[in-house]
Amino acid sequence: MKLNLPEYDFILKEEKGKTLIWDSLRNKFVTLTPEEEVRQRFVATLITQKGYPAGRMGNEISLIQNNLKRRCDTVVYDKFGSPCAIIEYKAPNIEITQEVFNQITRYNSVLKVEYIIVSNGIRNYCCKIDYQNNRYTFLKDIPNYNDINNCI
């Protein structure tokens, strides 16, 4: 399935019959799954086209929600090290449903970020959360880093 994300030259290697891809945010090779390809291409797009500093992003960030350990696919931080956006990835063949939004919303109940983003590499969704009025707005595009109020 062709992704709706730019292609990049990633560092790949074969090990024990599996293809691995270098994750520059985690500084290690990880198994190249369809979801991981979405993550790596999305992160590269944020860095190269949207101005997100690699040093202010982390992949597979652990959090505790209802006494259970969970992992956010990607968290974006502000200059003070506080989370300002979270991103959830799915493989291209996985439809983005209400359950996917429920999942990222559960993570956000802990992190309380202003932006939540969901992508399966074909469709990308970004919501800006308005806590004061208890509502959210879907944005037409993923904002540039400098346009995220709480990140700069």
Q: What pLDDT does residue 108 have? A: 86
Residues of the chain with pLDDT under 70: 149-152
Q: Is 66 left (phi over 0), alpha (psi -120 to 50) or beta?
A: left
Q: What pLDDT does residue 120 have? A: 97
Q: What pLDDT does residue 150 have? A: 58
DSSP 8-state secondary structure symbol assigned to residue 141:
S
Q: What pLDDT does residue 107 have? A: 84
Give dist(CA 130, CA 114) in Å, integer.
7
7 domain residue, yes or no: no
Q: What pLDDT does residue 2 have? A: 87
152 domain residue, yes or no: no
102 domain residue, yes or no: yes
Q: Are strands 57-65 and 28-31 parallel, antiparallel or unpaired?
A: unpaired
142 domain residue, yes or no: yes
3 domain residue, yes or no: no
Q: What CATH number is associated with residue 44?
A: 3.90.1570.30
| β-strand partners of 124 | 119
Q: What pLDDT does residue 149 have? A: 63
